[in-house]
Amino acid sequence: MSICLAVDIGGTKIAAALVDCTTNHIIERHQIATPQSQQPAIFSTALTSLLMPLAPQADFVAVASTGIINHGILTALNPDNLGGLNRFELVDDIQRITQLPTHAINDAQAAAWYEFISLNSNNNATNMLFITISTGIGGGLVLNRQLQTGARGISGHIGHTVVDMNGPMCGCGRQGCIEKVASGTAIGELGSALFKRPCNGQQVYQLALEGNKDAMKIIHSSAAAVAELIANLTISLDLDAVVIGGSVGLAPHYCEYIQQYLNEKPELYRPHIIPAQSGGDAGLLGAAHWFARQENHT
Ligand SMILES: [Zn+2]
């Protein structure tokens, strides 16, 4: 039996779990808050305290991390997001801590792979897109049944495709990225401007659910933008399934709104829209399963 030490590095928490590669089930799981200091040494110390107790039981390490993992080095489209951790040598550092072979991919890519294998136990999808609509918008692509990570680790970063060329400036350097127009953060900003008081995306969504027509317009324009993105990618990549996740994506009726906008388009632009099933451990389990396959640990 082969055991993977899976690690999920996010903006608020770092989770680590021992995963049985034969069953892809979690044996033991621990979690810490992500250090708010962006000093590499502090981050590295936190990783050491989390991973050291688990490493002796594992055969290899599989990491799912926020940001772009370019040949093992953590980078970001918006360098401000990572501060001192931009260009952090993530794979080398974890390899040094654990003394185990270590691999890493982006967290949305890992979640996409887990959604794909979960989906395919009762579905025959070949080309699948996973979209997570939350504080930001991220994604992962599976084409010809293979997870796409890309030459530079960028594949699937659909949050930075432009939907409004005159839209707000994005931290990545472009104008009108879908993340700036349709994410939970964008919904909160649009609501704050409209209602002339600070509100977050969740509050605007709640107002929409209570029947506020202005809030409903904001939610609908988000779903319409996501539907356009799905249609563009479907006709580019011949997607047969799109899995929607994230706190906004899985909020009441949001997937139905996306479906409504897609229904207005010709059939070729309409893949199956499926709500994500896998929950909070999709990153851990997706990374473990993907790299177990690469290493023939299954
Ligand atoms: Zn952008």
Q: How far is the CA of 176 from the centre of ligand 1 (A)?
A: 7
Across the strands, what pairs with 215? none
Band (298; pLDDT cuts 50, 70, 90): low
**Cβ neighbours of 48 (radius 10 Å):** 15
What per-residue confidence (pLDDT) applies to 47? 96
Q: How far is the CA of 185 from the centre of ligand 1 (A)?
A: 13
Convert the pLDDT of each residue in 171-207 to its tens digit. Answer: 999 999 999 999 999 999 999 999 999 999 999 999 9
**Mean pLDDT (whole number) for 3-12:** 94
Domains of the chain by start residue, with CATH: 3-109+280-295 (3.30.420.40), 123-278 (3.30.420.40)
Q: How far is the CA of 163 from the centre of ligand 1 (A)?
A: 10
Ramachandran angles phi, psi of 39, nearest 5° = -80, 130
What per-residue confidence (pLDDT) applies to 294? 84
Convert the pLDDT of each residue in 118-133 to its tens digit. Answer: 987 666 789 999 999 9
What per-residue confidence (pLDDT) applies to 134? 94
What per-residue confidence (pLDDT) applies to 30? 97
C-alpha–C-alpha distance, residues 162 and 224, integer Å: 14
Does position 297 have pLDDT exceeding 70, yes or no?
A: no
Q: How far is the CA of 159 from the centre of ligand 1 (A)?
A: 7
Q: What percent of the chain has pLDDT over 70?
A: 98
Q: Of 136, 50, 47, which Cα lies nearest the Cα of 85? A: 47
Amino acid at 261: Y
What per-residue confidence (pLDDT) applies to 227? 98
Q: How far is the CA of 162 from the centre of ligand 1 (A)?
A: 8
What per-residue confidence (pLDDT) applies to 119? 86
Q: How far is the CA of 47 from the centre of ligand 1 (A)?
A: 29
Does position 217 have pLDDT exceeding 80, yes or no?
A: yes
What per-residue confidence (pLDDT) applies to 3? 97
Q: How far is the CA of 250 from the centre of ligand 1 (A)?
A: 22
**Mean pLDDT (whole number) for 214-229:** 98
Q: How far is the CA of 59 from the centre of ligand 1 (A)?
A: 38
Q: How far is the CA of 190 from the centre of ligand 1 (A)?
A: 17
What per-residue confidence (pLDDT) applies to 122? 65
- Beta carbons within 8 Å of 82's beta carbon, 6+ residues apart: 38, 67, 74, 75, 76, 88
Q: Are 254 and 226 in contact (CB under 8 A)?
A: no
Q: How far is the CA of 83 from the centre of ligand 1 (A)?
A: 17
C-alpha–C-alpha distance, residues 260 and 242, integer Å: 15
Band (85; pLDDT cuts 50, 70, 90): confident
C-alpha–C-alpha distance, residues 75 and 77, integer Å: 7
**Mean pLDDT (whole number) for 256-278:** 96
Across the strands, what pairs with 6? 17, 62
Q: How far is the CA of 95 from the centre of ligand 1 (A)?
A: 32
Band (285; pLDDT cuts 50, 70, 90): very high
Q: How far is the CA of 67 from the centre of ligand 1 (A)?
A: 13
Does position 82 have pLDDT exceeding 80, yes or no?
A: no
Q: How far is the CA of 104 from the centre of ligand 1 (A)?
A: 23
Band (258; pLDDT cuts 50, 70, 90): very high
What per-residue confidence (pLDDT) applies to 108? 96
